[in-house]
């Protein structure tokens, strides 16, 4: 899947931009509405992945990594660079602290917070340099919403 994505990125980016990202750690994130549109419009500046278990990207993503943005049920539409990342153990911190501090940048609903109230781990990824792409399909199987490529 990594090669498939890189071939498509190479065809859409300048040689300099492609050279800059091709050797970086690349992640594939699946995004649903309305968060996808908020991100593409620049309103959503932090992406979160909050879970009960210690799963990717928790402790598996770093500053300057690349996140390829796949639309849920669709193709790849953008990518961004990680400006900063925070890993939060929610067994030691209250999720309401994250909500109070970052809710505007996360652009998520009250329902989202209700669904995550029993979570144990949070990854906050600060979005930098989002680049929109001409949408392209990839051969992704399964229900995973985060894949390290």
- Predicted model pTM: 0.95
125: left (phi over 0), alpha (psi -120 to 50) or beta: beta
pLDDT band, very low/low/confident/very high, at 141 (cuts 50, 70, 90): confident
2-53, pLDDT tens digit by residue?
999 999 999 999 999 999 999 999 999 999 999 999 999 999 999 999 999 9
Query: What is the rounded distance in angstroms from the CA atom of residue 16 to the CA atom of residue 144?
Result: 31
pLDDT over 90 (residue 137): yes
Burial class of 85 by CB neighbour count within 10 A (0 to 12, 13 to 18, 19+): buried
What is the model's pLDDT at position 13? 97
């Amino acid at each position: 899947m990594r090669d498939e994505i890189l071939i498509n990125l190479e065809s859409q980016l300048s040689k300099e931009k492609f050279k800059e990202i091709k050797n970086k750690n690349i992640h594939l994130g699946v995004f649903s509405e309305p968060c996808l549109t908020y991100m593409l419009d620049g309103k959503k500046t932090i992406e979160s992945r909050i879970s009960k278990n210690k799963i990717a990207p928790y402790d598996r993503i770093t500053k300057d990594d690349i996140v390829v943005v796949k639309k849920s049920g669709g193709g790849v539409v953008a990518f961004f660079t990680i400006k900063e990342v925070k890993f939060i153990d929610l067994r030691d911190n209250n999720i309401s602290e994250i909500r109070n501090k970052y809710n505007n940048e996360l652009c998520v609903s009250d329902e989202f917070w209700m669904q995550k109230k029993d979570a144990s781990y949070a990854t906050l990824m600060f979005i930098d340099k989002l680049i929109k792409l001409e949408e392209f399909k990839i051969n992704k199987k399964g229900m995973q919403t985060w894949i390290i490529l």
